[in-house]
Amino acid sequence: EVQLVESGGGLVQPGGSLRLSCAASGFTFRDYWMSWVRQAPGKGLEWVANIRQDGNEKSYVDSVRGRFTISKDNAKNSLFLQMNSLRPEDTAVFYCARVERAFTYGRHLHYFDYWGQGTLVTVSS
Amino acid sequence: SYDLTQPPSVSVSPGQTASITCSGDKLGNEYVSWYQQKAGQSPVVVIYQDNKRPSGIPERFSGSNSGNTATLTISGTQAMDEADYYCQSWDSGTGLFGGGTKLTVL
C-alpha cells in the first residue's frame, strides 16, 4: 500500500524558515517524480514544486522560486521542502504527492496519483 | 503558463448528471486530470489522461477533453459525490490547477 506521510509543519514568523518532510513507503521511491502541492485555507490547490526521480531536475511555481528548495533522499525514501523567507501568503496545508508522467501521442501526461494527509504551515507574527 | 477556469459551483439532483467544465487556452495540447476533494480530506484522482479512471473509481465518473475545454461528467450522481473538484494539467514544466468547483447534490 502506497503511503505518504508529511511532517514538519507549524507556526513560523514572516521571514522565517521551515523544512517539510514526506516519508514514502509501499513503492519504489527512486523510480518516481515527486511533487509538493499546497492549499491555502478555504482556497484551491496550487502546485508548488517537482523533482525528478534522481533529484537532478527540479521546477517551481514562480511565487516560491528562489525561496523554496525541493529535494529527495532515495536511500531514505524521503522528500523534502526547504522553505526560506516565508511570507503570510505561504500559509497553507502542504501535500506531498507522487507523480505519474508519460508522453503519448504528442501530449504530456503529468498527474498526482497518491497524496499524503498534508501538513499545515502557518506564517504569522 | 495559462489559467484553467472552472465554474465555482454546480448543483445537481440525486440520480441526475453533473457536468463540470475546465477551460484554458492550450488545454487540448496536454492531458487533463480531475481530483475530488471531500471536506477535510486529501484530494483523490478520479480521472487521468482526459478520460481514464483509476481502479476503485466508479464508472459513473467520466471525462473528455476537446479544443480548449475539458469536462468531468458524473452520471447518476449520488450524495457521496458532493465535494470540490479540480482539473489539472501541465504546461511548459509547470503544474496547473483549476480554481475548483463545489458540487452540491440537492
Which residues of chain A does B98 touch, with a Cβ-Cβ cutoff of 8 Å?
A: 44
- Of B104, B97, B91, the closest CA to residue B43 belongs to B97
Contact B97 A115 (CB under 8 A): no
3-state secondary structure chain A: CCEEEEECCEEECCCCCEEEEEEEECCCHHHCCEEEEEECCCCCEEEEEEECCCCCCEEECCCCECCEEEEEECCCCEEEEEECCCCHHHCEEEEEEEEEEEEECCEEEEEEEEECCCEEEEECC
The answer to whether B25 and B71 have CB atoms below 8 angstroms apart is no
Contact A44 B99 (CB under 8 A): yes
Which residues of chain A does B43 touch, with a Cβ-Cβ cutoff of 8 Å?
A: 37, 45, 95, 112, 115
Sign of CA dihedral A60, B4, A110, A40: positive
Buried b (16+ CB within 10 A) or exposed e, B38-53: eeeebbbbbbbbbbeb
Whether residue A115 is predicted with pLDDT greater than 80 in this model: the reply is yes
Which residues of chain A does B95 touch, with a Cβ-Cβ cutoff of 8 Å?
A: 35, 37, 47, 50, 61, 110
Which portions of chain B are predicted below pLDDT 70?
Answer: none
The answer to whether B73 and B19 have CB atoms below 8 angstroms apart is yes
Report pLDDT for B29: 87
Contact B86 A95 (CB under 8 A): no
**For chain B, what is the mean pLDDT?**
95
Contact B95 A109 (CB under 8 A): no
**For chain A, what is the mean pLDDT?**
97
Which residues of chain B does A113 touch, with a Cβ-Cβ cutoff of 8 Å?
A: 45, 48, 54
Average pLDDT over residues A94-122: 95
Report pLDDT for B16: 98
Give the phi and the psi of residue A116 in degrees, each rounded to 5: -80, -175
Which residues of chain A does B88 touch, with a Cβ-Cβ cutoff of 8 Å?
A: 45, 47, 111-112
Which residues of chain A does B96 touch, with a Cβ-Cβ cutoff of 8 Å?
A: 47
CA distance B69 to chain A (A): 15
The C-alpha atoms of residue A124 and residue A14 are separated, in whole angstroms, by 6
Residue B94 C-alpha cell reads as: 509547470
CA distance B59 to chain A (A): 18
The C-alpha atoms of residue A7 and residue B27 are separated, in whole angstroms, by 34
- Of B96, B102, B106, the closest CA to residue B2 belongs to B96
Report pLDDT for B88: 97
Residue with cell 487540448: B28
| Closest chain B residue by Cα to residue A41 | B40
Of A45, A100, A108, the CB nearest to B86: A45
Confidence at A108, pLDDT banded by 50, 70, 90: confident
pLDDT tens digits, A45-94: 999 999 999 999 999 999 999 999 999 999 999 999 999 999 999 999 99
Q: What's the distance, Cα to Cα, between the start and end of chain B in Å?
A: 36
